[in-house]
């Protein structure tokens, strides 16, 4: 199949490095003499025909910018039969030979629907939650993790000075990958993730008591938002032990900012691979990483896999917090 014109969109929660992926899609398309259109506000833009022509100029100086220049949305209309039909009509009307969809699992389900209706779509994983089952790496996780780590390092300075306990809530939706990684990186007293049922006495109070017994006078508790609110955890700590914890919800701070080199480079590779796959006539697939290599899987297979917190992370956390 000859590919003359493609579209690229970002959908779902934004993630630092999305712009680097868009830029790479555009540059790779231009390298092959393909026209590239940016579809704005995710699948909503495909429904309403809100597209802009992209070239080297329009994507210049975006590799270092967080957020997404294409805007993003979680389209309710696209979840309907009618919305999907409208989107397909836009693709046909504009002669789009393929689409690169950048986002998380909601984005992939949308791409699968389009693909079933005859539109060629390749997905790129981008979410700070890093919860996409088929890939070890998702664009934005590295930046978000480093941002959270920097914030918690700052927090530690004042917690240490006042000899306080801090409960920090980290994003991740229903997953604890971000919280676990960040907790290990900041040397947290305890880390709570939704993948592990919480025994409050053992997982929090006992760890604080042990740390105190070992001479520590400040404590850092990292909570994945999917495990419950930091405020609730803090009040439970206050009830159980003579501490008056301070609560910090890092929130959307984690989603913004300059993408790390790792996110920029991987996004650039993934954008390149997505366009090459469209050129090879592939569709309904996700670019992903496995065992340190780039590969791709069918969307159905990718969405069906289970992504678990690594045993090594759980083991290391136990050793680091069990002294």
As annotated, the active-site residues are: 129
Residues within window 6-45 making contact with ligand F6P, judged by CB under 6 A:
13
Window of 124-132, 159-167, 205-213, 299-307 that interacts with ligand F6P by CB under 6 A: 124-132
> Of 138 and 321, which has the nearer Cβ to ligand F6P?
138
Q: Which of these, 102, 103, 289, 119, lies nearest to 297 by C-alpha position? A: 289
The tokens describing 22, both together, are: 């868009």
> Of 13 and 66, which has the nearer Cβ to ligand F6P?
13
142 part of the interface to ligand F6P, by CB under 6 A: no
Q: How far apart are CA 213 and CA 196, in angstroms?
A: 26
Please, what is the angle between helix 81-94 and helix 105-116, to 10°?
70
> Of 135 and 283, which has the nearer Cβ to ligand F6P?
135
259 part of the interface to ligand F6P, by CB under 6 A: no
Q: CB within 8 A of 80, min separation 6: which ones? A: none
Q: Enter the DSSP assignment of 127.
A: -
193 part of the interface to ligand F6P, by CB under 6 A: no
Query: Whole-number minimum distance, CB 14 to ligand F6P, in Å?
Result: 8
Neighbour-count burial of 199, counting CB atoms closer than 10 A to its CB (0-12 exposed, 13-18 middle, 19+ buried): exposed
Give how many residues touch ligand F6P by CB under 6 A: 10
Query: Whole-number minimum distance, CB 15 to ligand F6P, in Å?
Result: 7
> Of 141 and 219, which has the nearer Cβ to ligand F6P?
141
Query: Whole-number minimum distance, CB 18 to ligand F6P, in Å?
Result: 12
Binding flags for ligand F6P, 150-189, as an x/- string (CB under 6 A): ---------------------xxx----------------
Bridge partner residues of 9 (DSSP): 39, 101
Query: Whole-number minimum distance, CB 215 to ligand F6P, in Å?
Result: 36
| 167 phi and psi angles, rounded to 5 deg | -115, 120
Q: How far apart are CA 143 and CA 240, in angstroms?
A: 35
Please provide the DSSP assignment of 128-181 as one string. Answer: TT---TT-S--BTHHHHHHHHHHHHHHHHHHHHHHT-EEEEEE--TT--HHHHH
> Of 226 and 271, which has the nearer Cβ to ligand F6P?
226
> Of 23 and 255, which has the nearer Cβ to ligand F6P?
255
The tokens describing 249, both together, are: 């919800």
128 part of the interface to ligand F6P, by CB under 6 A: yes
Q: Which of these, 313, 302, 321, 314, lies nearest to 134 by C-alpha position? A: 302
Query: Whole-number minimum distance, CB 129 to ligand F6P, in Å?
Result: 5
Query: Whole-number minimum distance, CB 127 to ligand F6P, in Å?
Result: 5
N residues, the chain = 323
Query: Whole-number minimum distance, CB 104 to ligand F6P, in Å?
Result: 6
Half-sphere CA count of 32, side-chain side, radius 13 A: 21
What value, to the nearest 5°, has the Cα angle with vertex 265 and ends 171 and 56? Answer: 110
255 part of the interface to ligand F6P, by CB under 6 A: yes
Window of 61-69, 94-102, 127-135, 231-239 that interacts with ligand F6P by CB under 6 A: 127-135
Q: Which of these, 141, 140, 139, lies nearest to 287 by C-alpha position? A: 139
> Of 132 and 155, which has the nearer Cβ to ligand F6P?
132
127 part of the interface to ligand F6P, by CB under 6 A: yes
Window of 123-131, 209-217, 274-282, 286-294 that interacts with ligand F6P by CB under 6 A: 123-131
Q: How far apart are CA 312 and CA 237, in angstroms?
A: 28
Which residues contact ligand F6P (rule: CB under 6 A)?
13, 104, 127-129, 171-173, 225, 255
């Amino acid at each position: 199949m000859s590919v003359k014109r493609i579209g690229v969109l970002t959908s779902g929660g934004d993630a630092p490095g999305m712009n680097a992926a868009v830029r790479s899609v555009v540059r790779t398309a231009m390298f092959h003499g393909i026209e590239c259109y940016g579809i704005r506000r995710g699948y909503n833009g495909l429904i309403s025909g809100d597209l802009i022509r992209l070239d080297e100029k329009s994507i210049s100086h975006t590799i270092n910018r967080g957020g997404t220049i294409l805007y993003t949305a979680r389209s309710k209309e696209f979840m309907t039969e009618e919305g999907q039909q409208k989107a397909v009509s836009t693709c046909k009307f504009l002669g789009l030979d393929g689409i690169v969809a950048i986002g998380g699992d909601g984005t992939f389900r949308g791409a699968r629907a389009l693909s079933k209706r005859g539109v060629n779509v390749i997905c790129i994983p981008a979410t700070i939650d890093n919860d996409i089952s088929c890939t070890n790496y998702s664009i934005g996780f590295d930046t978000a993790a480093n941002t959270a780590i920097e914030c918690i390092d700052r927090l530690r300075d004042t917690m240490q000075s006042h000899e306080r306990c801090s409960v920090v809530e980290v994003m991740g939706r229903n997953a604890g990958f971000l919280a676990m990684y960040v907790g290990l990186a900041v040397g947290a007293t305890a880390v709570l993730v939704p993948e592990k049922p919480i025994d409050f006495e053992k997982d929090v109070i006992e760890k604080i008591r042990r740390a105190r017994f070992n001479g520590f006078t400040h404590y850092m508790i990292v909570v994945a938002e999917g495990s419950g609110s930091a405020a609730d955890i803090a009040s439970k700590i206050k009830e159980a032990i003579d501490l008056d914890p301070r609560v910090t919800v890092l929130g959307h701070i984690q989603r913004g900012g300059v993408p790390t080199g790792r996110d920029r480079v991987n996004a650039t590779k993934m954008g390149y691979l997505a366009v090459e796959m469209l050129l090879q006539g592939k569709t309904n697939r996700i670019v992903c990483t496995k065992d340190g290599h780039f590969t791709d899987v069918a969307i159905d297979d990718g969405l069906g896999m289970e992504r678990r917190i690594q045993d090594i992370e759980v083991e290391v956390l136990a050793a680091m917090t069990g002294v």
